[in-house]
Amino acid sequence: MKKIFYLLAATALITAVAGCKGTGKKEAPKGNTSTSGTVVMACDASFENVMQQEIEVFEYVYPDASVLSYYTDEKACVDSLLFGKARIAVVSHELTREQISFLRDKKHFAKTKKIAVDAVAVIVNPDNPVENLSVAELTEILTGKVTQWNDVYPSKLGKIQVIFDHNGSSVTKFMQDSILSGASYGENVFAANTMKDVFEAVKSRRNAIGLVGVSWISADLKNADLSAEERIKNLEVDDTTATSLTDEVKVLGIRKNDSPVAYKPYQAYIFDGSYPLYRSIYMINTGGAGTLANGFFAFVTSFRGQKLMMSTGVLPATVHHRMVEVN
């Protein structure tokens, strides 16, 4: 486990995920259209669980389409878009004016849309007696002002070990910019390379506290093994959003500094702003009309694509739905 400040940037790994429908030999796709061909998407690693489901269903519906996705840090995602290595980027912020101008000079016009609202979940080992933290308490832990669990709640867990995925990740940057007001992380902060590694580290270390995107702690990820066909059938059921959280780790409630009530990152509490650690997810498309980039962008922002996101724990940006909390 390396300290977060000395972690080298992760190498982006391009993974092709192809869906297939029907039987028999298919004709090769005739060029790149909105439903056929190949497109490269660069996606923030914390949103991997969200976008993989979108890709698998899209490729099932359109078997001649192939979305080649790779998951990396936000800067690498935006750079891939700017320099033509990817036609789509999924990140937690919009492009700057300078970046938009840079693309225009290259005759590439970016279309941006908010596709969901994500939350940063704070997780600890199931043996940890702590149930919730205030934003101020979390800040003191992240900056190293509080280093012992006994200073938070009576326990024998010893030194607090904070686990992020890696330096430069969107979760790391969000917490530093929005919660720490730019302050530096303490010496008790470490990197685990990936979101999955953070989750596994917290499961095995009684003194650890981790920060992950909410899609990584949704109990509905048990549905990750469903086929694309089964997922499509689930989309037709109703408009209820039933959210539940994993029991493999303990998900802490977080309370605002002026509130005695703590909230966990259920979709209902992300929706009304009660859960304070939330951020937006944006999809940026530089593909032209009639291209697969445009077709996939249209799918993700459509009713079906938005409804598909509900099972991942994030809050879709446009779907109107009822909220049901599952304890």
* Residue 39 within a domain: yes
Assigned token pair, 130: 């702590």
Distance CA 89, CA 95 (A): 10
Residue 222 C-beta-side C-alpha neighbours within 13 Å = 8
At 218 the pLDDT is 79
Same domain membership, residue 158 and residue 91: no
Assigned token pair, 112: 């941006």
Residue with tokens 């269903």, as numbered in its chain: 57
* Boundaries of domain holding 178: 119-271
- Read off the pTM: 0.81
Q: Which amino acid is at 101?
A: S
Distance CA 246, CA 263 (A): 16
**Residues 172-217: tens digit of each pLDDT:** 999 999 999 999 999 999 999 899 999 999 999 999 999 999 988 8
Same domain membership, residue 146 and residue 43: no
**Residues 246-301: tens digit of each pLDDT:** 889 999 999 999 899 999 999 999 999 999 999 999 999 999 899 999 999 999 99
At 244 the pLDDT is 77
**Residue 127's domain is classified under what CATH number?**
3.40.190.10
Assigned token pair, 248: 């493999």
Same domain membership, residue 211 and residue 232: yes
Same domain membership, residue 104 and residue 242: no
Same domain membership, residue 142 and residue 252: yes
At 228 the pLDDT is 57
Count how many domains the chain has: 2
Same domain membership, residue 212 and residue 124: yes
Instruction: Look at residues 165, 169, 149 and name the one whose alpha carbon lies nearest to residue 199.
Output: 165
Same domain membership, residue 216 and residue 123: yes
Same domain membership, residue 123 and residue 267: yes
Report phi then psi at 94, rounded to 5. -80, 165
Answer whether 241's CB lies under 8 Å from 324's CB.
yes
Same domain membership, residue 98 and residue 36: yes
* Residue 314 within a domain: yes
Same domain membership, residue 250 and residue 197: yes
Same domain membership, residue 107 and residue 150: no
